[in-house]
A and B are shown apart, each in its own frame.
Chain A
Amino acid sequence: MTRLKESKEIATPGEPIYEGQDIRPNSGAYKKEDKIYSKHFGMVKYRKNKVEVRPMSGRYVPQDGDTVIGEVTRVSYSRWTVDLGSAYDGNLNIGDATDEYVDLDEDDLTDYFDVGDAIMVKITSVSESMDVDLSMEDRRCKKLVGGRVVEIAPSKVPRVIGKKGTMVKQIIDKTGSNVLVGQNGRVWISGGHENLAAQAIKKVEKEAHTEGLTDKIGEWLEKQQQENEGEQ
């Protein structure tokens, strides 16, 4: 019963992280004989009687309950197809998109969302064959107008949000921008110092695995503000 790798340590694929029979492998780890191995280049995390490995990077895989930012790629008779930056597109049915009554023969679905629109949307179910259903029900869901979307690795999203939202709140406060983070790694930034907010988010992504990042980013943002003011 030995932890060959501790929580927050980095493991590589095929590397043994635990020896013993009392713990089970969770996502990103597998068991072979009496050892548990990592499936990823990622961070080890023990939770109760399980151990998992979170990959440092990787494309988004849709998960039930995630709030994500998607782009409408197709408008059909009664639904929209939404690209999520994943191998799997999402499906938004008219009934899940609005409470209003829509006459499918009379009304134009593009009045609501058209091809190219960016939307914040919630994943309500993911089937085994990876059919993804979406809904606009959650109060955070809306069409995103104006602003820009930057893309980061989905695995870094928790870091960009921070414990109890402290990291993203700091960025919002110090740049005056509105920031919405999608679980699929897409981040919408609107207003304020958009470019600075975008740079801060990219910086968090790059240094996600380091300690004291919230303070570092805070200091960096202050410095950038001073430099900008100096130029004016």
Chain B
Amino acid sequence: MTEQEVQWFDEDGKRIDGRAKDEMRETKMKADVLEEADGSAMVEVGNTRVIASVFGPQDLHPKHLIESDRAVIKMRYNMAPFSVDDRMRPGPNRRAKEIGLVAKQALTPAIELEQFPKSGIDISMEIVESDGGTRAAGITAASLALADAGIPMRGLVSATAAGVVDDTAVLDVIGKEDKEGNADIPIATINGGDEITLLQMDGDLTPDQVDECLSLARKGCADLDEMQREALHSSLKNQEQEGGEQ
């Protein structure tokens, strides 16, 4: 199916899944979802579902990675085999390694690594269900998990992707839009503000389109930032409920 055959917008300007061009998919977030991990969170954006975990500060292996004056972050991004229609073979792949790296760079500016010299902080993002925007959801979840783990940060990091389909800039690109659209621009910001810590682009756009995408995505990040804080506050209520059941 070529791009011309897909009707990206209907007469009311709604996208293939019924959203407006500046509308994010339905997003749910929950912190403190795993017991063993020091911090954890689950984020669902439409049909994309990610679980993030944080262990640390703790012993760092291998020893040659140790830094005398700060903690070292190890980041893992992994898609479960059943997270995509055509099973993903388990095991490291180059795409996952790259995403791990840019995700680490997206989160690091916000973290106070100097508080924990000679230690390691292990962050993991598992994609259990994918419909586009997995690295963005992963970063958003990882930031929540870091807060849940009590790691000191100057802010939360949230991420989303904007793109262009049928020459129109849209927010929160769904799998199908990404595959057959013009461009995909994932970004991350700190505290929903103007510091962009993740910026990537695949596509073919005019500078004006890029500018428009950035504006859309920044607004998305600001909305996600609010949701992250609500999720943290909710995690306290969840604990109360569990405690009360005994």
Contact = CB atoms under 8 A, between A and B. Distances in A.
A87 B57 contact: yes
B156 A129 contact: no
Given A130-B118, A203-B243, A56 B149 contact: no
A112 interface: no
Contact of B229 (A12, A58, A130): A12
Contacts of B112: 39
A6 interface: no
Contacts of B149: 57-59
Interface stretch (A133-141, A159-167, A206-214): A206-214
Interface of B: 38-39, 56-60, 68, 71, 110, 112, 115-120, 147-156, 190-191, 228-229, 232-233, 236, 239-240, 242-244, 246
B154 A10 contact: no
Contact of A58 (B151, B228, B244): B151
A86 B115 CA distance: 13
A57 B39 contact: yes
Given A15-B229, A56-B236, A59-B56, A41 B119 contact: no
B117 A130 contact: yes
Contacts of A220: 246
> Which of B56, B117, B153 has the most chain A CB within a 10 Å cutoff?
B153
A75 B134 CA distance: 47
Contacts of B155: 13-14, 37
Contacts, number: 98
B243 A12 contact: no
Nearest to B239: A206
A37 B246 contact: no
Given A12-B232, A40-B150, A59-B38, A206 B243 contact: yes
Contacts of A110: none
A87 B58 contact: yes
> Which of A13, A39, A61 has the most chain B CB within a 10 Å cutoff?
A13
A224 B219 CA distance: 51
A55 interface: yes
B75 to A, nearest CB: 18
A78 interface: no
Nearest to A210: B240
A12 B119 contact: no
Given A41-B232, A88-B119, A14 B156 contact: yes
A153 B239 CA distance: 13
Contacts of A61: 57, 115-116
Interface string A193-222: 000000100010011011000000000100
